Amino acid sequence: MSEPMIAIQGLTKRFSTADGRKHLAIDDVNVEVAEGEFVSILGPSGCGKSTLLYMVGGFVAPSAGAITVQGRPVTGPGPDRGPVFQEFALFPWKTVLENVMYGLRQQGVSKAEAEARARALLDMVHLKDFADFYPKELSGGMRQRVAIARTLAYQPQILLMDEPFGALDAHTRTVLQNELLGIWERDRKTVLFVTHGVDEAVFLSDRVVVMTRAPGRIKKVVEIDLPRPRVRAELLVNRRYQEYIVELEQLIEDVHLEAAGA
């Protein structure tokens, strides 16, 4: 088998709290993600999912352990790993088009070419008529589409998505889940997707990593063996899909009970 796209070994993160004590947020996490794989990290809020993703992104330094991407150790952010945040994190002073062009311009792509590629991406996320709008003039769903387009623009091999649809209403969320799967089916990027939604994780992923809380450890890894391309209406009546949902809900329930008992 070839080298994994992402390899996480013995990853540990401690934060110092305000009163000077150490808080163990992540403890000895080991995960491997293959190229083109869609992996979700599922866990209750506060279990360290974001922290884990930020460390893969190179935004936060681990306390111990190692992360390699295509065999190279992660030392900082790089355009091979594109983040998409729950808060969208668009540049409010730039228009939609300028936001999407940003990465290309920073990498020295000419203005004309950057604009052409940005417009093509906006077309893909159904925002071609909103190129000259400012982020504040868009709805949450549209903003997240812009953020996804901005990240796709510089063609990262890995997408790091931190509850990207968490701030959206239920309907918009399902629409964007479908769109994300559509995009993913096309170029099969490696995706590390953080969520606390069981159905979202099952619907999107090849594998789901379930985490425990305080400290964040891996509780179980569940393979999602469902046919692709996935169609929501078909899955809802699929026995195996229902079993995955029940299994994961049960796991999350256990995590909660353990945390309460501890």
Ligand X SMILES: Nc1ncnc2c1ncn2[C@@H]1O[C@H](COP(=O)(O)OP(=O)(O)O)[C@@H](O)[C@H]1O
Contacts to ligand X by CB under 6 A:
15, 23, 25, 43, 45-51
Tell me how far, at minimum, the Cβ of 171 lies from other proteins, in Å. 25
Indicate the residue among 43 and 82 with the shorter CB distance to ligand X: 43
Tell me how far, at minimum, the Cβ of 162 lies from ligand X, in Å. 7
What is the C-alpha to C-alpha distance for residues 45 and 47, in angstroms, rounded to an integer?
Answer: 6
- Near other proteins by CB under 8 A: residue from 130, 154, 203, 241: 154
When CB distances to Mg ion are compared, the closest residue is 50
The yes or no reply on residue 82 touching other proteins (CB under 8 A) is: yes
Among ligand X, other proteins, Mg ion, none, the one that 25 touches (CB under a kind-dependent 5 to 8 A) is ligand X
Among ligand X, other proteins, Mg ion, none, the one that 106 touches (CB under a kind-dependent 5 to 8 A) is other proteins
Tell me how far, at minimum, the Cβ of 11 lies from other proteins, in Å. 19
E strands within the chain?
6-16, 22-33, 38-42, 64-69, 72-73, 81-84, 158-162, 190-195, 207-211, 218-223
CA quadruple 193, 198, 203, 205: dihedral sign: positive
Asked if omega into 92 is within 30° of 0 (cis), the reply is no
The yes or no reply on residue 177 touching Mg ion (CB under 5 A) is: no
E strands within 34-78?
38-42, 64-69, 72-73
Q: How many CB atoms lie within 10 A of CB 30?
A: 12
